[in-house]
Amino acid sequence: MSLSPRSAINADLHSHSDISDGTLPPEAVAARARAAGVQLWSLTDHDELSGQARAVEAAARLGMDYLTGTEVSVSFAGQTVHIVGLGFDASDPALSEGLRATRSGRDARAMAMALGLAEAGIEGAYEGALRYVGNPALISRTHFARFLVDSGVCGDVPEVFRRFLTHGRPGYVEHRWAGLGEAVRWITQAGGVAVIAHPGRYKFTPTEEYALFSEFQAHGGQGVEVVTGSHRPSDFDKYAGFAREFDLLASRGSDFHSPEESRIGLGELPPLPAGLAPVWEALSHRVQRA
Ligand code: AMP
Ligand code: MN
Ligand code: MN
Ligand code: MN
């Protein structure tokens, strides 16, 4: 099957602003998306909706279609999984409350991370990371990483994650995020579609990965990111296969965080592999047209 004209649009449905762990305000992310030729955009800040009104307004001003978005942190089979929500009603109270609860442990977690880093000889990391935070409700590992790069401890953000912020490293703290079923329900009951974000990034066994997809679908999840800045080209094919096998809608997004840190710019992605059902076609009734 060849690409239909609508599935060939430049949709970027995964990006971050300084409302979570991106470095740019929502308006600047919108402007970069527009300049890169994005036709349909979504701002998907982690566990947060407070950038949505600004994103909608900026997209409209720039003549770009928009879908509401967020990226929910979920604990599943001992790992953190991200579930992107698209096209929901951003004023839905249960979704807002669920995200508030998901965010609520971040500050205590950050203080525990700083304790671990102090034991490894890095003092003042909590205060240091806070200087990079745009939204006090959303301190993340990325803010610690930027602090450790700018203070000269590491050369770049990926190095900080490798040496300090991943499982078994001094600044890593186990954390309990939302449940998979909860996250999917918050999104779908608000009228949106839940999407498994960057499945190629997780370190699941094939059995665990199969469980993730089947439980996600049993909870009402309908989509998977196939083309994302977090995937290698071999992952595009693998997860196109999963989309077909599970009959899931396919999504596409850069996972843009910052002009300095992103491997792939907004909208700079290959099209979805042929024969997949684009999530934006299923959500066409939820698109806020410019
Ligand atoms: P948190 O929600 O505080 O656990 O932070 C997760 C964020 O850290 C992700 O959304 C990414 O932006 C970033 N991140 C995770 N792993 C890496 C990595 N290996 N290299 C660079 N950034 C990463
Ligand atoms: Mn992030
Ligand atoms: Mn993610
Ligand atoms: Mn993301």
pLDDT digits (tens, 9 = 90+) for 237-255: 999 999 999 999 999 999 9
Cβ atoms < 10 Å from Cβ of 98:
22
- Counting from 1 in the atom list of ligand 1, the atom nearest the Cα of 73 is 2
Question: Under DSSP, is residue 162 helix (H, G, I), strand (E, B) or coil?
Answer: helix
Q: What is the pLDDT of residue 1?
A: 36
Q: Kindly indicate the confidence band of residue 4, based on its pLDDT and cuts at 50, 70 and 90.
A: very low
Ligand 2 centroid – CA 44 distance (Å): 10
Residues sharing a CB contact under 8 Å with residue 205, sequence separation 6 or more, in sequence order = none
Q: Kindly indicate the confidence band of residue 263, based on its pLDDT and cuts at 50, 70 and 90.
A: confident
Q: Which residue has the tokens 């995937």?
A: 231
- Could you give the C-alpha distances from 193 to 7, 117, 161, 204, in angstroms and in order? 17, 38, 30, 24
Contact present, 166 and 172 (Cβ < 8 Å): yes
Ligand 1 centroid – CA 145 distance (Å): 9
Q: Determine which residue's CA is closest to atom 2 belonging to ligand 1.
A: 140
Q: Determine which residue's CA is closest to atom 17 belonging to ligand 1.
A: 161
Average pLDDT over residues 153-167: 97
Q: What is the pLDDT of residue 2?
A: 39
15 lines ligand 1 (CB under 6 A): no
Q: Determine which residue's CA is closest to atom 6 belonging to ligand 1.
A: 141
Q: Kindly indicate the confidence band of residue 262, based on its pLDDT and cuts at 50, 70 and 90.
A: confident
Specify the pTM: 0.97
Higher local confidence (pLDDT), 227 or 8: 227
Ligand 2 centroid – CA 176 distance (Å): 17
| pLDDT above 50 (res 30) | yes
Ligand 2 centroid – CA 230 distance (Å): 11
Cβ atoms < 10 Å from Cβ of 175:
14
Ligand nearest to the CA of 196: 3
Average pLDDT over residues 90-98: 98
